[in-house]
Chain A
Amino acid sequence: MINSNPEPIEILLVEDNPGDVWLTREALKDAKVHNNLHVIADGEDALAFLRGEGRFSGAPRPDLLLLDLNLPRKNGREVLAEVKQDADLRRIPVVILTSSTAEEDLVRSYDLHANCYVTKPLGLDQFLCVVKAIEDFWLSIVKLPPRTR
C-alpha cells in the first residue's frame, strides 16, 4: 500500500445510473486505498454535498469527485463549472466519468477545467479496469491537495 494515511479517502460519485453505481462500487471494493464512496444521484444535491449545505451539513469534504455528465436537475457540466469557479472547491480533482464519446462533451469538460475525462468502456472487465486505473492514479500516485474544511 503506497498511501499509508490511516484516514480513509473520501470519494464522491455523482451518478444517477444505479447500474454504474453498482459497478463502480464493485470496482472500488478491492481498492488498495481505504476509501469512503458517497453516491449522489443529481447535480443539485452534489453541490449541496460538496458545500455541506442543508441535509448534507457535516458531510465530509471529498478528496476526489467522480462526475457523470448526464444528471437530473443540474447536469454534470453545470456542476463542474460551479465547482471550478468556487475558490473553496476548485482544488478537488474532478474526474468526468461518462458514457459520452462525443467530442464536444470532451472538449467542453476540459474547457471547464475537468482534471480528466474518462469514457466508460463497454465491457464489464474493461469498466472495472478503468475504475481501478482511476483509483490507482488518483488515490495512490497523485498527491492530493490538503483538505481545507
Chain B
Amino acid sequence: MRGLLFNLLEEVVSRRWGLERWDEALDRAGLDGAYTSMARYPDAELMSLIESAASVAGMTRDDFLQWAGRSSVPLLVGRYRSAFEAHLSTESFLLSVPSVVPPSIRASFPDMDVMFIDIGIERADSGVGVSGIRWRPQLCPLIAGFIEGIALHYGEGASIEHKACVDWEDEACVLLSTFDTQSRLSTVPQPSPAVEGRVPDPVRLLRRFERERAARLKAEELAAKVLFRMYEVIRRLDEANEELREREARFSAGVAATPDAVISADGEGKIWYYNHAAERMFGYAPEEARGEPLTILMPERFREAHLRGLRRFLDTGETRVIGRTLELAGLRKDGTEFPLEVSLASWSAKEGTFFVATLRDVSDRKRLQEELAQHSAELARSNAELEQFAYVASHDLQEPLRMVASYVQLLARRYEDRLDGDALDFIRFATEGVTRMQGLIDGLLAVSRVGSGGRGREAVDANEVLDDALVGLRAACKVAEATVTRDPLPVVVADRAQLAQVFQNLIGNSLKFCGPHPPVVHVTAERSDGGWIFAVRDNGIGIDTAHAERAFQIFQRLHARDEYPGTGLGLAICKKIVERHGGRIWVESDAGQGATFRFSMPERRGGL
C-alpha cells in the first residue's frame, strides 16, 4: 500500500502542474517556498492548522512554513529515484538536509549532515522508529547509500562516503541501538572505534528525544493535516480557477467580439489587454500593443495630461475621468487621428491598480453632428430670411398694391362718364388682380406663420376648438344654410389656434364646394394607434381622388376661379399644421358623393 501522503502529494502535483509523475514535477518545479506561498491563500482552516503546527513545533509560523516547504525540496535527487521508488509501496519519505531541519530538532543532532523526516505515516505498527526519524530496518542499507549519495551531491569531497558512513552509522547506531530495546537489532552496526569518543550517550540522547517526541509527533501530525488541508485548498482553488478560466474565456470571447475597443492597463499605464476592435481601431496588433504604454494610442498633446492624471489618481485617488465618458482623440499606428469616446473604470487588486477603457470611434457621429450643426445654422438663416420675407410681404408689398387698387377705382369713379364699357372692364380686371394678389400674400403669410407658430401646444378640448372655428364661419354658414353637426370630440395636445384653423379651412371648403344642396357637415373623431383621427364629412361635390394629392399643395386649385374662388392655400395650410403636429391629412371621396377629410393627431407631442 502506497503511503497516503504520497498519494496525496502525487495527486496534488498532477493536478496542480498537470504532470503524471510527482517526482518529475518536484524535480522540475521544486517545492521551494510552496508552503510559504500557501500562506497567501486565504483559507482560515489552513491558517489555523499552520498556526497550531508551528506552535507545537516551537517555531514561528514563518519558520514552520519555511521548514515544511523546504523540507520537501531535495526530495529524491534524481539518480536515487528508482532505488527509492521500489520501496515506496510501503512508505513514503520526505527527506531534509539538516540546514532546513527545525532548529529544535537539529540541535539534538549537532553532527548530523543528513536526516530523514517522514511525516504523516501510520506509525504504530511500523516496527521501528524514533521520533520523526523512522524507517524499516531492512531499508537501512538502501538509505545509507542514499544518504551517501546525497552527501556526495552536496559536495562533501573525497571523504564524504566514509564520513557519511561514519556519521550515519554513528548516529544511526546510536539511534538504532535505542530501537533495539523493542525491535530486532541483530543487523545494527556497532559504533566504530574510530569515532567512539564522539558517540553520544545513547540513554541521554534517548531521553532528550523522548522529551521532544510528543511535541514532534504532534507537529508531524499537524504537518500532515496541513498537507491535507493544502490539498483541499488547492483542489478547491483548481476548481475555482477552472471555473474562472471558463468564465474568463467566455468573458474574453465576449470582450473580443464587442464592437467597442476594450483596453486594460496596469497602474503604470501599460497595456495588458487589448481586443480585436482595438486592433481595428488603432492598427496595432494585440501582441504589439501589450506592454506598451497607453500613450502610444493618444496624440502628443494629450499625453502629458494623461500621465499627470494617472499619477494624481494613484497618489490621491482623485480623478476627473474615472467613471465618466469623455470625448478625446485617438492616434492610429499610421499616425492619423480620429475622434473617440472613452469610458474609464478602475479597480484595485493585490497586484495594484488597473484600468479598463471602453472606446468608440465617433468619427461618423462627429461628422453627423457637424453636418447637423451646419444644417441647423442654415435652417436658422433660412428661417430668418423667411421671417424677413413675411415682414416685407405684410408691410412693403401692401402699399403699392393699395395704390394700384385705390387709384384704379378712383379713376373709374371720377371718369366713369368718359370711359367706355371696355375701359371699365379693364379697370375691374386690374382691381380684381390686386385683390387676388393681396389674397395670395395673406395666404403666404398664413402658411409661413404656421411654421413659426405652434409653440403654444397644450391639452385642448377639440369641442371647444371646433366652437372657435364655427364662430369664424358663422356668416358663411348662414349664407349657405349649412348644418354642422358633431360627435363628442376628444381632448388632444395641440396649438389651439392652429387646430381651429384646420377645422375652419376644412368646414369652409365644405361650405364652398357644396353643390346644389345646402351643405351638411359632420365632424367626428375616433381612436387610432397612438392618437386620434378626426374626420370632416360633407355632402358636397366631392373631390376626384386622382387629384386629391394636388389639393394639399400650395396654390393648387382644382376648379376654375370663377367657379369656386380661392387662393389654393386652405388645404396647404391644413396639411402644414397637421404635419407640424406629427399627424397627416388625407381625403376620401367619390366625385359627386361628398368628401371626407381626415387628419390624425398623435397623442404624444410629435413634430417640432
Contact = CB atoms under 8 A, between A and B. Distances in A.
A137 to B, nearest CB: 22
Interface string B237-267: 0000000000000000000000000000000
Contacts of B405: 122-124
Contacts of B431: 123
B483 interface: no
B441 to A, nearest CB: 9
B409 A99 contact: no
Contact of A100 (B398, B406, B407): B398
A122 B435 contact: yes
A100 B394 CA distance: 6
B173 interface: no
B498 to A, nearest CB: 15
A70 B407 contact: no
B561 to A, nearest CB: 18
Contacts of B391: 102, 104
B310 interface: no
B403 A17 contact: yes
Contacts of A99: 395, 398-399, 402
A76 to B, nearest CB: 12
Given A19-B407, A125-B409, A127-B402, A70 B395 contact: yes
A102 B391 CA distance: 6
Nearest to B441: A101
Contacts of B403: 17, 19-20
Interface string A101-133: 110110000000000000011111101000000
A23 interface: yes
B395 A105 contact: yes
A101 B402 CA distance: 13
Contacts of A124: 405-407, 409-410, 413
A128 B434 CA distance: 18
Given A122-B434, A124-B405, A127-B406, A102 B394 contact: yes
Contacts of B445: 101
B384 to A, nearest CB: 14
B205 interface: no
Contact of A123 (B394, B395, B409, B442): B409
B401 interface: yes
Contacts of A121: 402
Contacts of B438: 122
Nearest to A68: B399
A17 B403 CA distance: 9
A123 B399 contact: no
B402 A120 contact: yes
B414 to A, nearest CB: 10
A101 B394 contact: yes
Interface in A36-73: 70
A99 B394 CA distance: 8
Nearest to A124: B409
B401 to A, nearest CB: 7
Interface in A1-54: 17, 19-20, 23
A38 B534 CA distance: 57
Nearest to A69: B395
A124 B406 CA distance: 4
Interface in B352-411: 390-391, 394-396, 398-399, 401-403, 405-407, 409-410
A24 to B, nearest CB: 11
Contacts of A102: 390-391, 394-395
Contacts of B406: 19, 23, 122-124, 127
Nearest to A119: B398
B395 A122 contact: no
Contacts of B401: 122
Most buried by B among A19, A104, A120, A122: A122
A17 B407 CA distance: 13
Contacts of B396: 70
Contacts of B394: 100-102
Nearest to B445: A101
Interface string B436-453: 001000100100000000
Given A20-B403, A121-B402, 18 more contacts: A19-B407, A70-B399, A98-B395, A99-B398, A99-B402, A100-B394, A100-B395, A101-B442, A104-B391, A122-B398, A122-B406, A122-B434, A122-B438, A123-B405, A123-B431, A124-B405, A124-B410, A127-B402
10 contacts: A19-B406, A20-B402, A70-B395, A98-B395, A121-B402, A122-B398, A122-B406, A122-B438, A124-B405, A124-B410
